[in-house]
Amino acid sequence: MAVNRMFRTCPASGLVFHEPAENLMKANAVAAAVSLLVGGILAIGVTLTRWQAVHMLPPDSFYLFLTAHGLNMLVFWIIFFEMAILYFTSSTLLKCRLAAPGIGWVAFWMMVVGALMNNYAVFRGDSSVMFTAYAPMGAHPTFYLGLILFAVGALISCFVFFATLVVAKSEKTYNGSVPLVTFGAITAAIIAVFTIASGAIILVPTFLWSVGFIDHIDSLVYRTVFWAFGHSSQQINVSAHVAVWYAIAAIVFGAKPLSEKVSRTAFFLYICFLQLASAHHLLADPGLTSNWKIFNTSYAMYLAVLASMVHGLTVPGSIEVAQRQKGYTNGLFEWLRKAPWGNPAFSGMFLSLIGFGFLGGISGVMMGTEQLNLLIHNTLYVPGHFHATVVVGTTLAFMSLTYFLIPVLFRRQMMFAGMAPWQPYVFGLGMMGVSLFLMGAGTLGVPRRHWDIAFAGNPLPYEFPGSAWLMMALAGISSIFAFVGGAMYLAITVGSVFFGKKIETPGFKEISAQQGMVGRPQPAAAPADTTVIAGHQGGVGAGGMCMVAPGTFVLAIVFLVSFVLYYFINWKYLSTVWPLR
Amino acid sequence: MSNAIQPAGDHEVFEEPVPPMQQLLDNPFLLLFIGIAVPTVLYIVLGVMEIVAIPIAK
Ligand code: HEM
Ligand SMILES: [Cu+2]
């Protein structure tokens, strides 16, 4: 089979795109956006039902919508987008041809068919088992089959990614180590392989059970292995969105990582320890010992949290250093005040970082502590926490990357360019509100996945305090902002990609490259961005942090103080749950 | 990465040995192995062993 070696150099960014890789990125990104649209529409039904004053859907549809919302958002939107990121960070950043694009397409179509099949099962109405699908609660066989197809497709894409790394190395398209952003993507892909393998281990028998070949699935084993899939897939997201943070810092500011060594070591901590935190989902399960629970959550998880804190510091730190070099040296925060807050790629990324750290990170450590976990187990605090991580953190980071990709990958001018600067604020702040208020309701004991906290017509009623109802209403109101922000994002991206003005480059042609390597691009304007995302330089050591980036250092102290305070407040709160009198 | 596979024409000044940690981080397949082995043993295998050890009710 002839190998397609056609490349184009993006005149705006200097990035090099391999034609088949580019098409795969586009296809995966479009599939992601479609999933986000479906999931977003379903979110309206979910939220407006939980907002007791509106209480929109009847119970059956509520659980159906909730199941489909979780799957389309958490699984389909995020993973399709991640596949586009894997192709970008391997082929484009390493200036290498994509290995086996044909297999990439097979994987893509498996994922599409899998996603459709799974949605079909849920919308039939007999598979409202939530995305966790805990056995012995059973769904229609196509529910599991769809998920399995989707997962295997994603696994194949990961192997195309790894194969591209091999090609790049043997065709010598880069020197030394891969760029940091690609290293982050490698971390994501490694976690993805473990995640998907665990998913297969548990979903294949569950599928066989749903068609009657196996007569029993142990529910505790299901839950344990399921969370190796369900939780680790969140860690793919973390690694991917941290890589996106680094990429955007490089693209927008030309920022270089403060220390390649420290950032890479932090990713290495992710590879070793992040997946173990899956045990936090089982903290209230009988049968597993505290040894196992505490080792996996507290000990291992803290090492992974340490790594996240390193990333959360080095990304703004590197931005601060880059800004100070541009002359924004007044006071502690001039570099931040004078940052391009009107550029949605930057504002989205920065809100993602702050929201992920302050809301998602702090609440995550609290609930991952075995003793504290029982304060909020299975309450709305849990969705509150993960909407901070996976929506404000991952989704917003991916959205901000899209603003960079519209001109560069899709070669279109942005539609609604006047609206785009507002989108990250409307979506990000709305979603932070949703997270906070859901956490508030959870702290007051409101359960998650619950159709009616009024318990109307029940023989054994329970009355939640008025403040809990207020929290639910505030979450509902914030989510309206989030819907508007999500709709703005989809209008801008879909509009630009399909109807935006094409960016024509005079004299443009795709160049065939020998050995898969393109001649170094020499566009007229120096592509400052790419050399930074695709290159790597040693920076200042992390030890010099408080000297070179004092503003970030202060932010870090604020973060740590909030963290410690919140953590101890919860211990205090725990001590009042069953007081000794 | 050893110097032997660096492209010709790269002006090498120093022949510094690559530190072991960097060699590890430059090897995606070794990382893949670690990233699968660690959670498989510490989370899945140890977890499932504990569940299997629960006595069956009579
Ligand atoms: C406009 C944006 C969104 C709003 C207003 C929203 C709101 C909600 C609400 C209120 C719940 C229900 C909690 C319950 O009753 O237990 C929920 C569940 C969930 N959401 Fe979202 N969400 C949004 C976007 C997203 C996104 C982007 C993701 C993932 C990337 C996501 C993932 C999930 C998941 C996994 C669940 C849990 C489903 C379950 O319990 O099985 N959501 N969401
Ligand atoms: Cu988790």
Token pair listed for A251 = 């693209």
B35–A271 CB contact, under 8 Å: yes
Closest CA relative to residue A325, chosen from A315, A316, A335: A335
pLDDT at residue A459, as a whole number: 85
Contacts of B28 in chain A (CB under 8 A): 162, 165, 186, 190
Count, residues in chain A: 581
The residue whose C-alpha atom lies closest to atom 37 belonging to ligand 1 is A70
Distances from the Cα of A142 to the Cαs of A64, A200, A333, A389, in angstroms?
15, 15, 54, 30
Instruction: Kindly report, residue by residue over A506-537, the tens digit of the pLDDT.
Output: 666 666 654 444 444 433 333 334 445 655 44
Instruction: Kindly report, residue by residue over B5-23, the tens digit of the pLDDT.
Output: 444 445 555 667 888 888 8
A183–B25 CB contact, under 8 Å: yes
- Give the nearest chain B residue to A175 (CA atoms): B6
The residue whose C-alpha atom lies closest to atom 19 belonging to ligand 1 is A70
Going from the Cα of A227 to the center of ligand 2, the distance in angstroms, rounded, reads 7
As a whole number of angstroms, the distance between CA A500 and CA A413 comes to 6
In what helix (H) or strand (E) does residue A512 lie, and over which residues does it extend? strand A511-512
| Residue spans of chain A under pLDDT 70 | 1-2, 506-546, 580-581
Distances from the Cα of A92 to the Cαs of A20, A453, A459, A556, B12, in angstroms?
11, 50, 62, 33, 26
Interface test with A, best of B3, B5, B44 (most A CBs within 10 A): B44
As a whole number of angstroms, the distance between CA A219 and CA B47 comes to 13
Cβ atoms of A158 and A189 closer than 8 Å: yes
- Give the nearest chain B residue to A196 (CA atoms): B36
**A511-512/A16-18 β-pairing:** unpaired
A228–B43 CB contact, under 8 Å: yes
What is the mean predicted confidence (pLDDT) over B42-54? 93
Residue ranges per structural domain of chain B = 20-52
Instruction: Check pocket membership of A412 for ligand 1, CB cut-off 6 A.
Output: no
Query: What ligand 1 atom has the least distance to the C-alpha of A390?
Result: 30
The residue whose C-alpha atom lies closest to atom 31 belonging to ligand 1 is A73
Residue A15, min C-alpha distance to chain B (Å): 21
Instruction: Check pocket membership of A414 for ligand 1, CB cut-off 6 A.
Output: no
The dihedrals phi and psi of A71, each to the nearest 5 degrees, come to -70, -45
pLDDT at residue A88, as a whole number: 93
Closest CA relative to residue A125, chosen from A109, A142, A149, A108: A142
Helix segments in A495-537, DSSP class H: 528-534
Which amino acid is located at A575 in the chain?
Answer: S
As a whole number of angstroms, the distance between CA A238 and CA A41 comes to 25
pLDDT at residue A41, as a whole number: 95
Instruction: Check pocket membership of A46 for ligand 1, CB cut-off 6 A.
Output: yes
As a whole number of angstroms, the distance between CA A82 and CA A151 comes to 13
Q: Tell me how many residue pairs between chain A and chain B have CB atoms under 8 A apart.
A: 95
Going from the Cα of A462 to the center of ligand 2, the distance in angstroms, rounded, reads 29
* Terminal CA-CA length for chain B: 60
A177–B22 CB contact, under 8 Å: yes
Instruction: Check pocket membership of A387 for ligand 1, CB cut-off 6 A.
Output: yes
Instruction: Kindly report, residue by residue over B23-44, the tens digit of the pLDDT.
Output: 899 999 999 999 999 999 999 9
pLDDT at residue A179, as a whole number: 92
Q: Residue A292: which of B31, B32, B46 has the nearest Cβ?
A: B46
The dihedrals phi and psi of A523, each to the nearest 5 degrees, come to -70, 160
A484: region left, alpha or beta (phi > 0 left; psi from -120 to 50 alpha)? alpha
Query: What ligand 1 atom has the least distance to the C-alpha of A394?
Result: 30
The residue whose C-alpha atom lies closest to atom 20 belonging to ligand 1 is A70
Closest CA relative to residue A296, chosen from B54, B25, B45, B28: B45
The residue whose C-alpha atom lies closest to atom 27 belonging to ligand 1 is A391
Show which of residues 1-58 on chain B sit within 8 Å of chain A, judged by CB atoms.
1, 5-7, 10, 21-22, 24-26, 28-29, 31-32, 34-36, 38-40, 42-44, 46-48, 50-51, 54
Helix segments in A409-463, DSSP class H: 423-443
Cβ atoms of B50 and A289 closer than 8 Å: yes
pLDDT at residue B16, as a whole number: 77
